[in-house]
Chains A and B, each alone.
Chain A
């Protein structure tokens, strides 16, 4: 399956957009300018980009605490994302959610969820909605190796299996829950043994290769749209930053392991490949990057210029009318 030139450039642009957005956020967090907890997606960009490119607005996704990448890949507005991260009134959630809870229901982004594993049951509902609507739409749930340790994971696999839900399980296996290795925490050893036990088709891939993610997700999603039941895609990857961005938090992962994975940077590897294949030139890459950096700066300026909510705004939105 050859990817078109346009697709390749789109994938690269999405990955770079996530990277530059996240770099800006990291800088501001460590400068002390961002309230709360921020979980960086740097290092895992290929997964969100390679999966979400196959999804339309009516396909719904549910994300997790490390969710900025999924939002951007699904087409969220970086301005409103940045404003939310800063707690501004113009943010996606009017400053009531923050980095961990960005949602944009208008593009089928049903929200990032801060409780590990909790998005899985919610996604089964989104998938059931797609099944009942019968228009070939699907749902995708992003989660990590940590979520595979929760009971909700098994409940969601079971439900998706018996109801043949059009649900794509995207396991972003970055090998650690905070500082605890999945090798220690997962009695099943290989994660895909668990979906297999529930008769859910699965595949393990190297998640830093965006073209591989793209091709595997494409096949999986085609099956889902035909009503062949759920699919489990495990993408092996690594996060470059600590669990969340904080001077106080320790990173107990082996330094050499982190350094080795940084050498496998999904963005740089793809860039090299595109240059070698002459899909892009250094000049073109520079132009794309410049444009993205401008957009990120615009988003940041927008966030800074936006007003904070009024204290009394805390009293609105507890209930829908």
Chain B
């Protein structure tokens, strides 16, 4: 099968869906040259640097029967558009009693590890999970980003796709034939029996490397990539924890009130999973600090393969005595 990059796969999703539906508009501060060449400057528009305005425009377009993609580039610029995303996009379907649909796809990159300093290095998806009305994607592979974005482009709600900055150039197998990836269906990236690792965004890659390393030491790690945070595939996570009895959640976002906390909470609050737990679940998250610029400090602040291995071993050591 052909291999293409994550970015190419994402672009293909938009191309394919825009070909099907002429009432689609792409808004971004940067020129999406390939798209504009095919679909014209009316539909593929360069906006002024006014994120809040063009997310608002997407709402107005949606309310008028158009489907819009907003590329905000980085999550840090997404913060500039918080009013329109949080106060409006998330709520108006509900607040107007469901009388209109608001199909909007908002894309932005997340993550750290490129010396972007504190403003540009952030993974704020849990803040958005806390505002009902949005759907939230966390695509990690070229295959998934294409399939998830295509599904999002057929969804009639505001969907935010958080795409890790460092995986844009990752290549992977992507079929030529059309396919979709459903929202709310996690992917078990590696099967295992000793411990469940739920990893988010780029941490999927760190967790898979950790699992590979640990397999050499006879430890069998199951790695789950939720792929979407809203809706979240609770069942796949719970099923795995009920099987392994151990849980480690890995996310490079700050630990406090993060998606990792939610995943731990839903697991420990589930009687079936709780009763099977052999040890206290663990989180491997970014430190609760603004991400520093200088590489040694930045590395210190972020989770990586070594930290994941350490956490898994600690969880295995701390098994409760069996009754």
Contact = CB atoms under 8 A, between A and B. Distances in A.
A318 B132 contact: yes
B57 A122 contact: yes
A81 interface: no
A62 B60 contact: yes
Interface in A103-126: 103-106, 110-111, 113, 115, 118, 120-126
A162 B88 CA distance: 24
B56 A317 contact: no
Contact of A92 (B54, B55, B84, B99): B99
A62 B62 CA distance: 13
A273 B239 CA distance: 77
Contact of A97 (B47, B50, B97): B97
Contacts of A95: 97
Contacts of B58: 125
Nearest to B98: A317
A122 B99 contact: no
Contacts of B66: 125, 129, 132
Report the contact-size class of chain A (Cβ under 8 Å from the partner).
35 or more
A319 interface: yes
B31 to A, nearest CB: 15
A152 B99 contact: no
Contacts of A130: 64
B82 to A, nearest CB: 11
Interface stretch (A153-161, A170-178, A258-266): A153-161
A96 interface: yes
Nearest to B59: A122
B42 A132 contact: yes
A111 B96 contact: yes
B97 A139 contact: no
Contacts of B65: 129
B48 A316 contact: no
A32 interface: no
A113 B61 contact: no
Contacts, number: 147
B60 A128 contact: yes
Report the contact-size class of chain B (Cβ under 8 Å from the partner).
35 or more
A101 interface: yes
Interface in A66-98: 91-97
A317 B95 CA distance: 8
B25 interface: yes
A159 B96 contact: no
Contact of B53 (A97, A121, A319): A121
A101 B83 CA distance: 16
A129 B98 contact: no
A127 interface: yes
Contacts of A106: 99
B87 interface: yes
Contacts of A121: 52-57, 59-60, 84
Given A115-B87, A129-B65, A319-B133, A122 B56 contact: yes
Given A120-B53, A123-B60, A152-B83, 17 more contacts: A94-B97, A95-B97, A101-B95, A103-B96, A105-B100, A111-B95, A113-B88, A115-B83, A118-B87, A121-B52, A125-B64, A127-B60, A152-B53, A158-B50, A318-B94, A318-B133, A320-B102
Interface of A: 60, 62, 91-97, 101, 103-106, 110-111, 113, 115, 118, 120-130, 132, 139, 151-152, 155-156, 158-159, 162-163, 316-321
Kindly list the 7 A-B residue pairs having the minimum CB-CB distance in the complex, ordered from nearest.
A121-B56, A125-B60, A129-B64, A125-B57, A317-B98, A93-B97, A155-B53
27 contacts: A92-B99, A93-B96, A97-B95, A101-B96, A103-B96, A106-B99, A110-B60, A111-B96, A115-B83, A120-B56, A121-B56, A121-B84, A122-B60, A122-B84, A123-B60, A124-B53, A125-B56, A125-B59, A129-B65, A132-B66, A155-B48, A159-B57, A163-B45, A317-B97, A319-B157, A320-B98, A320-B157
